[in-house]
Structure 1
Amino acid sequence: MRPVCALFLLCAISACGLGGPGFRDPSVIIASNANFDPARYAGRWYEVARYPNAVQSGCAGAIADYQMQPDGSLAIRETCLDGTGAPLREIMGQATLSGPGRLSVRLAGVPGAAPYWVLWVDEGYRTAVLGQPDGRAGWILNRDPVIPADRLTAAREVLAFNGYDLTDLQPSGAMIPR
């Protein structure tokens, strides 16, 4: 199999939540944020930490821009960053609300949709925790590139409460204060 085809297949499998172990204990009940407001969520988010996933392979960090659409969905533009913060590549997509705090995300070039659950957003919509219920992916996002220590601690606690193993959580570039 050609390397490019193998990479695409790996990305597709990861994005759809198929194959490979997850990063959370499936016996732990996972809950999405029932009060999630997509309109307040819209805007720019900086990835602070993530679990390894094939779609973001080679990215030191990412910036995700969500824009409300007239039909209530969110258009997504995710920019993968290199180690200096320069853009490497972009992927476009769309997120539709599939339940309270639950998004069905379709990314361009990736077959199928993946469930992204909003596990927590702080009251000011400054920090968010997203995860896939099968535990194959998870992210800590923040409105600013640097997250305050108290909100980072809270975000990590939310992941742990939902059964995620924090040992595999990777900081994204230099976005977490040293």
Structure 2
Amino acid sequence: MMRLVIALLAGLLLAGCATSGDDSLAPKTVHSVNLKRYQGKWYELARMPMYFQRNCAQSEAHYTLKTDGDMEVLNRCLTPEWKWEEAKGTATPQIPGKNDKLWVSFDNWFTRLLPGVTKGNYWVLYVSDDYQTAIVGSPNRRYLWLLSRKPEVNTDTREELLSRARQQGYDTTRLIWRVSDTKMAQTSK
């Protein structure tokens, strides 16, 4: 019974990621993403607090373009105990032919219990010209991820990403930053 209650509450939380209101108030997306260039490994530099990532010290996402135009998603989370946790899913364009706004659903007991309700609203807000950094968020500004092809970026790149996120109306003071490899090694001793 408790599992069902938790599932329903989480479903309501995820359903709240969808918008049906005034799109003029929503963040602006990049309008088009070259999914061939976007696929591959991305390191999460920072994120807004999210229940499903509460134990993540380091996270990464792996995207693989499928022949039907969807993206296969593999999210990995390294816990402070040096244990990898994984979630597999699919990212599907919300509007056929456009790929800046994606529905992401993961294959787990929860999504099988409530199919269609547990889709995450994944908007690509920024991608650098060289596809080395990106900003992804939800239109209600509850979730935000700063991504990079490298586990760490220089100060100028970090400040540029933060500035772009703030310009879109996200509260960057709430960001949880990736724990460095050095700090992870020190905490495991």
TM range (shorter): 0.7 to 0.9
Aligned position for 2:128: 122
Structure 1 segments of 4+ aligned residues over 2 angstroms from their partners: 4-18, 26-29, 83-86, 109-112
Partner of 1:106: 105
Check whether the contact 1:156–1:166 (CA below 8 A) recurs between aligned residues. yes
* 1:1-178 alignment runs, 5 A limit: 2=2, 5=4, 7-17=6-16, 28-83=25-80, 86-87=83-84, 89-98=85-94, 99-109=98-108, 110=111, 111=115, 112=117, 113-174=119-180
Please give the alpha-carbon distance, in whole angstroms, between the structure 1 residues aligned to 2:82 and 2:64. 22
Please, what TM-score do these two structures have when normalized by structure 2?
Answer: 0.78
Gaps of 5+ in 1: 19-25
TM-score, normalised to structure 1's length?
0.83
Structure number with the higher helix fraction is 2
Superposed CA RMSD: 2.4
**Paired residues, what number?**
168
Deviation at 1:50, TM superposition (A): 0.2
2-structure distance, mates of 1:151, 1:5: 43
What's the secondary structure of 2:179's corresponding residue? coil
Offset at residue 37 of structure 1 (A)? 1.1
Counterpart of 1:21? none
**Structure 2 unaligned regions, length at least 5:** 18-22, 182-189
Partners of 2:55 and 2:80 within 8 A in 1? no
Percent sequence identity over aligned pairs: 31
Equivalent pair of 1:14/1:54 in contact (CA under 8 Å): no
- Asked if structure 2 preserves the Cα contact closer than 8 Å seen for 1:15 and 1:55, the reply is no
Q: Which moved more, 1:77-86 or 1:99-108?
A: 77-86
Q: Which has more radius of gyration? A: 2
